Amino acid sequence: MTGKVFLIGAGPGDPELLTVKSVRMLQDADVVVYDRLVSPEILSMAPAGAQMVPVGKSPDNHPVPQERINEILLEFARKGQIVARLKGGDPLIFGRGSEEAAHLMARGICVEYAPGITAAQGAASVSGVPLTHRGLASGVRYVTGHRQANGSLDLDWKSLACEDTTLVIYMGVANIGQIAMRLVAEGLSDTTPVMAIAQATTPRETRLFSQLGRITLDVRVSALKAPVLFVIGKVVTLSSEWPASESDLLTVSSRTIAAGQQAHA
């Protein structure tokens, strides 16, 4: 008997943001194959007897290559087991879920999806920074700030540098300097508001408020812990934590970082 694989979006970390379908699939699993970004609070919801298989990757550290992950899922399913493949955020947004599904379906394995709250939505919900807002941002774009094997960020910088659009950068900590420089070069003001939010929706969350011209330095000083999401655009000023004046910006960010570090201790 052949099993099946559930591709489950684990959301940004808060277990209360899981869908009912995600919880049902997870609790039906014989095996849980999970990424590094799945929070411990969500992992604790797995069935007591389920086999837990970590396959997490971090920048420049891929102990379990993607090709091996594909095979692990296939091997368990061929044994007749129900496999919960837990991915941070949504499995079809920068999660390589579609690659895993294609590998499995080409070999006759049934795949079902459970969408998840992606990091951008989670960050918006906890920070009060909307992704769109009338008069400030008529659209939103999700962009990856990292390329496979540290390849060049060959993005369409000119179209991304739009002051009427909210830009959300995933996986961009290592390249935020290059990203900020290119956006300013294409016309975005260096005073464009930026929010960097680390481990959003979890007890370990930290927020940093900055501007495009200084975000590189602020991130370096803050030493934010991954995963970090960047929200760039005028909507950031709608946060209740956005300072009343530019001179207060560093003070507010420093206080936020200190509070986050104390929570992590």
Residues acting as catalytic residues: 35, 57, 171
Opening angle at CA 224, ends 264 and 191, nearest 5:
135
User: Which has the closest alpha carbon to 18: 84, 82, 89?
Assistant: 89
Burial of 241 (0-12, 13-18, 19+ CB in 10 A): middle
Opening angle at CA 187, ends 182 and 190, nearest 5:
75
Tokens at 26, concatenated? 């997870």
- For residue 121, give the H/E element and its range: helix 119-127
Q: Which residues, including other chains, have CB under 8 Å from residue 160's CB and lie 6 or more apart?
A: 141, 143, 167, 183, 186
Report d(CA 130, CA 115) in Å as an integer: 21
Q: Within 10 A of 183 (CB to CB), how many other CB atoms are there? A: 23
